[in-house]
């Protein structure tokens, strides 16, 4: 009798272990902090959410991980009243991560200098331990902003030792990112801000303006379709 019970328990443990092993690491990218000063701070304010969304889009290329969708993330941020200024401390990031059952929370800061260089600093918080498990910083000209986001996303993926991004998909994404103008990045970021504010018509118009500047932008195309803008 005891041997049968032991076998049953062992089978359950093995099954649980197998499911855990097969589960994908889950990450969420929360708003970045705007560290620019003066008039530049106001001009770049939409990037707080824009960077987060673009970074999430780059990480989604990796089929070996799960990136939290924007809808669930925004619901959690609204519940914590964090949708306005986007400033989230580590304790709150961990709290949100636990609510959403996320393994890694990604955030950071951005700032530009007088030469038009954008510095993007990123940190990853391990929800289970509340510790910063990886941090990186990189910079490039503002005109190469999307390529900078793509490069940092690759660093994060490697730094966390997440499953490798399929080479063909990664290479195609990098080639596309190099062509996205900063004007399109700003328009897309403003569109996200408008959507979050409940300004549907304005958001659709801004997403369409983004597509006019950068045809084929998949995230803008998906947003227009989601909002019923055809």
- What is the spatial distance between Cα 187 and Cα 189, in angstroms, rounded to a whole number? 5
pLDDT at position 14, please?
38
Q: Are residues 228 and 133 in the same domain?
A: no
Residue range 77-105: mean pLDDT, rounded: 82
pLDDT at position 119, please?
95
Q: Is the pLDDT of residue 112 over 70?
A: yes
> Rounded to whole angstroms, what are the CA distances from 132 to 15, 66, 94?
31, 20, 11
Q: Look up the CATH number of the domain holding residue 145.
A: 3.40.50.10070
Residue range 7-31: mean pLDDT, rounded: 58
Q: Could you tell me the pTM of the whole model? A: 0.83
* Residue ranges with strand state E in 35-112: 66-67, 104-112
Residue range 87-98: mean pLDDT, rounded: 87
Domain boundary among 177, 192, 219: 177
pLDDT band of residue 13 (cuts 50, 70, 90) is very low
Q: Are residues 75 and 138 in the same domain?
A: yes
Q: Is the pLDDT of residue 158 over 70?
A: yes
pLDDT band of residue 6 (cuts 50, 70, 90) is very low
Residue range 200-228: mean pLDDT, rounded: 95
Q: Are residues 120 and 135 in the same domain?
A: yes
Q: Are residues 189 and 162 in the same domain?
A: no
Q: Are residues 139 and 219 in the same domain?
A: no
Q: Are residues 165 and 55 in the same domain?
A: yes
pLDDT at position 72, please?
85
Q: Are residues 153 and 90 in the same domain?
A: yes
pLDDT band of residue 122 (cuts 50, 70, 90) is very high
Domain boundary among 177, 198, 213: 177
């Amino acid at each position: 009798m005891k041997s049968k019970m032991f076998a049953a328990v062992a089978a359950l443990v093995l099954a649980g272990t197998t499911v855990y092993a097969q589960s994908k690491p889950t990450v969420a990218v929360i708003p970045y902090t705007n560290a620019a000063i003066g008039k530049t701070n106001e001009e770049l304010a939409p990037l707080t959410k824009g960077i987060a969304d673009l970074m999430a889009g780059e990480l989604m290329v990796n089929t070996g991980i799960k990136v939290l969708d924007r809808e669930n993330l925004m619901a959690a941020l609204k519940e914590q009243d964090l949708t306005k200024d986007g400033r989230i401390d580590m304790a709150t990031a961990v709290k949100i991560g636990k609510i959403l059952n996320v393994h890694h929370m990604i955030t950071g800061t951005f700032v530009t200098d007088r030469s038009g260089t954008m510095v993007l600093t990123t940190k990853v918080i391990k929800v289970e331990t509340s510790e910063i498990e990886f941090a990186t910083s990189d910079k490039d000209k503002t005109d190469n902003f999307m390529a900078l986001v793509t490069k940092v996303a690759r660093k994060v993926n490697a730094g966390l030792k997440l499953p490798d991004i399929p080479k063909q998909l990664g290479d195609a994404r990098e080639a596309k990112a190099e062509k996205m103008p900063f004007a399109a990045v700003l328009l897309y970021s403003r569109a996200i801000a408008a959507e979050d504010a409940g300004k549907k018509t304005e958001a659709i118009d801004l997403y369409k303006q983004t597509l006019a500047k950068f045809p084929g932008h998949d995230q803008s195309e998906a947003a227009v379709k989601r909002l019923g803008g055809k």
